[in-house]
Structure 1
Amino acid sequence: MSNVKSIIHRLRPREAALFFGPLALVFAVYYFFSTGFLLYASVQRISMALVNGRWVGLQNFKLLLGDPRFLSAFVNNIVFACVSVAAALTIGFFLAVTLSAAWRGKGLLYTVFLLPALMPLSLVASVFRTMLEARFGAVNVFLTDIGLEWMAQSWLIDPTFAYGVVIILFVYIIGLPILYYTANLSTINTSLIESAVIDGAGTWRLFVEILFPLMKGTHRTIVVSTLLTSFRAFDIVFFSTGGGPSGATEITGTYVYNFSTTGTNVGYGSAAAVATLLVTLVLSGLHMRLSRKDEQG
C-alpha cells in the first residue's frame, strides 16, 4: 500500500487523471446507474418488462417488512453472521496461535482452513453440496461402506440437517480471520509471552489473559468484516442448499434472487435489495471507521 501511495504522489495531477480516469469512470457509471435504477424501481410497481411502472412510494418496503419469508431470511442472516463471528473469535484465534508455533502438523491445518480463503466460495459450497447428496454423495457412500448406513441422511433435503450444513460452511470459511490473527501475532512483542511463561502462566492463561486482549483491534476488524461477509454470502447458500428446503436456509440475498426470477413485481424485489444494501453499507462504513482507528492507534 505504501508503494502505491508513493507512486501516486510522484505522478502529476494530469498523469494521475489519465491513468485512473477511465477505470474510475467505468466504475462510476456502473455503480451510479445500477444504484439509481435500484432506488427508482424500489418505489415503483413495475413488471419484468420494465415499462409502464406505477409509483407506489414506500408500499413495497411496507409489504417487505410484513413478509414472514423475508423476515425469516433476515433472521437467518443474523444467525449465520453470529455463528461466523463466534467461530472466527474462538476457533480462528486458536488456529492462528497454533499455526504460529513451529510444529509438523501445521502444514495440514494451513491447507484445510486457509485454502477456502483463496478459492471462490461458490466452488467450496458446490463441493460441499456434491459430497452431501443423498444417494451418491461421498459422505453417505463412506458411511455405507464402513457399515454405518443408518447414519446416512438426506442432508440437503431435511430442513434441520440443511440448516446445520450451512452453519458448518460458515464455520469452515474462517481462513481470512486466521490470516488477520496471524499477521497481528507477528507484531506482538515476544518478551511479554516469555515473561508470562517464566512466571508460570499455563497455556489457557496465556491464550485468554495475554494474547487475546493484546489483539483487541484485530477482534474489532474481524467482527465487522465477518458480519459484512455473512450478509454478502449469497454464493455460500445458493450453491449449497439454494435457500431450501422450503426456504429453511434462505438469506436476504437468495430471497432477492428467487423473487427476481419468479416474481412479477420487480419493484418489490428492488426494495428487498435496497434493504439488504443499506445493512451492508452500514457495516462497510463501520468497518472503514474501525480500520482507520486501528491505523491511527
Structure 2
Amino acid sequence: MKQRKKDAIAYVFLIPLLVLFAVFLGYSFYFLIKESFYKVNISFREPEFFGLRNYKNVISDKQFWRSLLNTFLLSSANIFFGLTVGYLIAVFLKLKIKGRRFFHAVFFIPSMLPIALMAAIFNSMLQYKEGVINQILRAVGLGGLAQRWLANPDLAMMSVMSVSFFLIGIPIMYYTADLTTIDASVMEAAVVDGAKLRHVVTMILYPMLKSTHKTIILSMLLGGFREMDRVFLMTDGGPGGVTEITGTYIYRASRAPGANIGKVCAASVLVLLLSFVVGAVQLQMTKKKNKG
C-alpha cells in the first residue's frame, strides 16, 4: 500500500509533463507525418495528396544519402576522439595529479558551451586570410601550408570534424564515473606481475570498460543528428554539399524557392525513425548494463 501511494504521488507530478508532451510533441509528430503525404508549399494552403511519392523522392535523392553519410562521419569523429583522447585523459586524471580538478574543468567546459559558439569560433580561426591557423603558419615561415580549410572540398569535412577533438568532456565524464567502480587490486596485481603503465591502460583497463565504450558510441551516434549548428555556421553544408548533414539538408530543402514542404516532412520523418532506432538500442543496452 505504501508503494502504491508513492507511485500515485509520482504519477500526479508526472501528469502535467505528460500532457505537455502529448500536446506539443505528440501533435508535432502527427502534423509532420500527416504533411509528409502531401505536396504543399510553406503556406500550407491547398495541399495536394501525394501519397508515398515524397518518400520516394527523398530516398532517390543522392544528396539525402550523402547527408546521412556525413552525419555518421561526424558522429564517427566524436566517437573516435571520445574513445581515445577522452579515455586517456580520464585515466591520467584518475592518477590524482596536482590540479586535476582544474584540468577536469578545462576539458569539460567546451562540451557545456553552445555548439553554435564553438562553430563560430572555429569558423573564424579557419578563415584563409584572417584565420588564426593560417596566420600562425605564415608567421613561422610555413605559409605554403596555409589552406582554404572551409572552402576546399577536400579539406572542408575534415576541418568540421576536427572540432570533435574539443568536445570530449562528456566521454571523460562517463569514463571517470566508471573508473571509480573498478577494483584497485586488479591494477595492483598487474603491476606486481610486471605490467607497465601502457599495458595497464590499454590491455587491462580498456577491456574492463566495455559497457562505457558502448554507451559513448551510442550517445555520440545519436548526438550526430543534432550537429546542424556546427555545420551550418562553419560551412553551411558547402562547398558543393560535401559537408551537408541531415539537419542542413532539411533546412536547405525547406528554404529553397518553391519548396515542397511535404518532401521536407518526409525527410524529417525518415531521420526521426533512424534516430529512434539508435535511441531504442541505447535504452536496451542501458537496461542490460543496469541488470548486470
Cα deviations by residue, 1:256-291 (Å, 9 ceiling, x for unpaired): 011112252000111111111111100111111111
Aligned partner of 1:245 among 239, 262, 268: 239
Aligned partner of 1:284: which letter? G
Does the aligned pair in 2 maintain the 1:184–1:215 contact within 8 Å? yes
Matches within 5 A, 1:152-191: 152-191=146-185
Specify the SS of the correspondent of 1:177.
helix
Aligned partner of 2:267 among 248, 268, 272: 272
Aligned partner of 1:296: which letter? K
Aligned partner of 1:30 among 24, 31, 34: 24
- 2:94 is aligned to 100
Matches within 5 A, 1:1-297: 11=6, 13=8, 15-104=9-98, 106=100, 109-263=103-257, 264-297=259-292
Aligned partner of 2:291: which letter? Q
Specify the SS of the correspondent of 1:160.
coil
In structure 1, the gaps of 5 or more residues are 1-5
Specify the SS of the correspondent of 2:154.
helix
CA-CA distance at 1:46 after TM superposition: 0.8
| Structure 2: distance between partners of 1:28 and 1:151 | 54
Does the aligned pair in 2 maintain the 1:98–1:106 contact within 8 Å? no
In structure 2, the gaps of 5 or more residues are none
| Structure 2: distance between partners of 1:137 and 1:105 | 32
Matched-pair identity in %: 36
Does the aligned pair in 1 maintain the 2:111–2:166 contact within 8 Å? no
Q: CA separation of 1:156/1:9 partners in 2, compared to 1, >3 Å: closer, same or farther?
A: farther
| Structure 2: distance between partners of 1:24 and 1:240 | 37
- TM-score w.r.t. length of structure 2: 0.92
Q: What is the aligned length?
A: 290
Q: CA separation of 1:70/1:191 partners in 2, compared to 1, >3 Å: closer, same or farther?
A: same
Q: Which moved more, 1:181-190 or 1:116-125?
A: 116-125
Aligned partner of 1:276: which letter? V
| Structure 2: distance between partners of 1:132 and 1:40 | 42
Cα deviations by residue, 1:183-216 (Å, 9 ceiling, x for unpaired): 1001110011011001101122212221011111
CA-CA distance at 1:28 after TM superposition: 1.8
- TM-score w.r.t. length of structure 1: 0.90
